[in-house]
Amino acid sequence: MTALSVNVNKIAVLRNSRGGPEPSVLKAAETAIKAGAHGITVHPRPDQRHITPGDVDALAQLCRKHGVEYNIEGNPFAPARGDYPGMMALIERVRPTQTTLVPDGDGQITSDHGFDLRADGARLQPYVQQLQDWGVRVSIFMDAGTPDLVLAKALGIDRIELYTGPYAEAFAHGDPTAAAACARTAAEAQALGIGVNAGHDLNQANLDAFISMVPAVLEVSIGHALISEALYDGLETTVRNYLAICRA
């Protein structure tokens, strides 16, 4: 079964837009876990537009309490800024199950491309090694069709996370081959001994087709669509709907 990790960034966006503690990121995460989610994902950014360092700490305790996976996404190259200590410092102090390395910047509304390892592989190497020395599983955000899987293998990473934004857009336009590039890349990665995760713009409409066409996806990380759908159907019900798709 493909594991479901619920990204709670959007809960923090809503909280931060008003100030104060509501809606509670911690309560939302606990609701998702009690509904059956296998893990929680966050993507703390230096500008703290949503998840804060305090959220990172509190969610680490929650995930340990419930025995679920904790996945922290972000750019390891982003330096400390103000009371944001830097991604690597956050990882060192909470030791999540998994870190997903993403080449994002402040100017991006959301992550919109994977790493180019021909350009960044050498810079990433010491970060990958440090994370694994801390006992953290390492995944790298990569585009479907990437020519860099051999370089990813050389880095010693555990998994890749396929950027599924283009798949979701093609699916929405009725393209029957929407998942073909993801399926090929997943198979190539798995042949090299690299596990495959996936995330971005996956939703209840397109997830079943994706899982059916892409072999042995270990985990999907879903936030924006899941939280949006939960506004209508409730968070617990929405998480259970996604889990039913993952099981099928």
pLDDT band at 107 (very low <50, low <70, confident <90, very high): low
Closest to 198 (Cα-Cα) out of 60, 8, 189: 189
Indicate if 50 belongs to the active site: no
Query: What pLDDT, on the 0 to 100 scale, is given for residue 104?
Result: 83
Query: What pLDDT, on the 0 to 100 scale, is given for residue 214?
Result: 97
Q: What's the pLDDT tens digit per position in 30-48?
A: 999 999 999 999 999 999 9
Amino acid letter for position 239: V
Residue 248 has pLDDT above 90, yes or no: no
Residue 92 CB neighbours (<10 A): 14
Q: Whole-model pTM above 0.85?
A: yes
Query: What pLDDT, on the 0 to 100 scale, is given for residue 176?
Result: 84
Residue 46 CB neighbours (<10 A): 18
Q: Where are the domains of the chain?
A: 3-247
At 118, list the tokens. 């021909």
Query: What pLDDT, on the 0 to 100 scale, is given for residue 39?
Result: 98
Give percent of the chain above pLDDT 70.
Answer: 97
- Residue of 43, 50, 161, 219 with catalytic role: 43
Query: What pLDDT, on the 0 to 100 scale, is given for residue 112?
Result: 67
CATH of span 3-247 = 3.20.20.70
pLDDT band at 78 (very low <50, low <70, confident <90, very high): confident
Indicate if 200 belongs to the active site: yes
pLDDT band at 87 (very low <50, low <70, confident <90, very high): very high
Q: Residue 209 in contact with residue 168, Cβ under 8 Å?
A: no
Indicate if 43 belongs to the active site: yes
pLDDT band at 108 (very low <50, low <70, confident <90, very high): low
Q: What's the pLDDT tens digit per position in 188-228?
A: 999 999 999 999 999 999 999 999 999 999 999 999 999 99
pLDDT band at 109 (very low <50, low <70, confident <90, very high): low
Of 88-102, 111-125, 171-185, the least confident? 111-125
Closest to 221 (Cα-Cα) out of 144, 164, 152: 164
pLDDT averaged over the chain? 95
At 26, list the tokens. 């911690």
- Residue of 30, 38, 50, 73 with catalytic role: 73
- Residue of 30, 38, 200, 229 with catalytic role: 200
